[in-house]
Amino acid sequence: MTETTTATPPRSGNRADKTLLRALRGEALPTPPVWMMRQAGRYLPEYKATRAQAGDFLSLCYTPDLAAEVTLQPIRRFGFDGAILFADILLVPQALGADLWFVTGEGPRLSTITAQAEFDALKPAADVHETLSPVYETLRILTRELPAETTLIGFAGAPWTVATYMIAGRGTPDQGPAHALKAANRPLFEALLNRITDATIEYLSAQITAGAEAVKLFDSWAGSLSAAEFDAYATAPAKRIIAELKARHGDVPVIAFPRQAGDKYRGFHAATGADCVALDDSVTPDWAAANVQVDGCVQGNLASRHMVTGGEALVSETRAIVEAFRGGPHIFNLGHGITPDADPDNVRLMVETVRSA
């Protein structure tokens, strides 16, 4: 099955004036746009209420009215410059035919892909849209409901990160099962990575058609790849996804997040075609300004712990990041997702500090 949804008309408001899109186009702004990874989530009481209404996490992801509501909640509360679609990176494996469920207090579980027969049972990449169609409807709702100045961001997990979950059946501390399959059966591993890559292209393309104005590719476990494997399994899939999205959708910008890439952040813009490279907080803003921002927009990179602890450390670190990246295009964000124990008052303080720095 192929996605036949027609393109959603642009929202009211001039895209040329949206600060987040301006930064993604390479403009250095006096005040950087700001949003947070996982900004719609368990640290907000209104999210918890909506999650309870949905009944379970996957029902929340697949109920467009409720998924749109939790996407809108942090925009109403904090006025972020970007709203990221509420969904989950593991919806793609489910759309490919993997079983997916969530264990309370432990996280996701999936049926595993470790043998050829299990891979052969997966659906073709072009058939993911039937399962994922509620996600596209969420985006269409958001195009109507978001403030005109807010950029709507779609996303997907990068192929390596998604593959680690599909191979292990859960999150693991070192991605050991994926590395083991890669060593034991490289053709099967690469076939799985290619299937995920193709499905991700289809998914993100349909998100853009449904109204996403920018998309982000989350490679949360990129840092566990060696240098050569990083090129093959983080850089190369990202390059293929971005090239195909650009071919289909022209100027829609792409943010790439190869978390824990370290020195491999250097040159990632050019190697993949990404419009923006998101940074975790293991690299300093000064280093990233000198080595990554010179090639284009960067996003980041306040440590998530400051959303829990707050205080003067939050203010001083926020100001230091804004100052370090002031010479080029920058989107202020955390170095990873906000945690459930974060204090919404600290989020407000961060936003106010960015906008007054």
27: number of Cβ within 10 Å: 12
pLDDT along the chain (357 residues), means of 10: 49 73 98 98 97 96 98 98 98 98 91 98 98 98 98 98 98 97 98 98 98 98 96 98 98 97 98 98 98 98 98 98 98 98 98 96
Residue 4 domain flag: no
Question: Is position 165 annotated as part of the catalytic site?
Answer: yes
Split into its structural domains, the chain has a count of 1
CATH of the domain at 26: 3.20.20.210
pLDDT of residue 357: 87
B/e letters for 293-310, b = 16+ CB within 10 Å, e = fewer, are bebbbbbbbbbbbbbbeb
Residue 73 domain flag: yes
Exactly one of 42, 77, 109, 326 is catalytic; which is it?
Answer: 42
Cβ atoms of residues 321 and 302 within 8 Å? yes
Question: Is position 22 annotated as part of the catalytic site?
Answer: no
**Which residues are bridge partners to 34 per DSSP?**
332
Residue 6 domain flag: no
Listing from the earlier edge strand, what are the strands of the sheet with 214-219?
82-84, 151-157, 214-219, 254-258, 276-278, 297-302, 330-334
Exactly one of 22, 51, 195, 259 is catalytic; which is it?
Answer: 51
Total residue count of the chain as it appears in this document:
357
Residue 9 domain flag: no
Exactly one of 11, 22, 38, 266 is catalytic; which is it?
Answer: 38
**What is residue 173's three-state secondary structure?**
coil
Question: Is position 174 annotated as part of the catalytic site?
Answer: no
Exactly one of 11, 47, 62, 88 is catalytic; which is it?
Answer: 88
The bridge status of strand 107-110 relative to strand 100-103 is antiparallel
Exactly one of 43, 62, 136, 165 is catalytic; which is it?
Answer: 165
Summarize the chain as % helix, strand, coil (round to 5): 55, 10, 35
**Which residues are bridge partners to 219 per DSSP?**
258
Residue 219 domain flag: yes
Please give the C-alpha separations between residue 205 and each of 21, 129, 208, 214, 333, in angstroms, as whole numbers. Answer: 18, 11, 5, 11, 24
Question: Is position 77 annotated as part of the catalytic site?
Answer: no
The bridge status of strand 151-157 relative to strand 214-219 is parallel
Residue 10 domain flag: no
Residue 22 domain flag: yes
Q: Which long-range contacts (CB under 8 A, 24 or more apart) does 180-184 make?
A: 181/114, 182/229, 182/233
Question: Is position 47 annotated as part of the catalytic site?
Answer: no
pLDDT of residue 89: 98
pLDDT of residue 6: 52
Residue 54 domain flag: yes
Instruction: Residue 147: give the domain boundaries.
Output: 15-356
pLDDT of residue 16: 74
Dihedral of CA 8/11/17/18: which sign? Answer: negative
**Which residues are bridge partners to 330 per DSSP?**
298
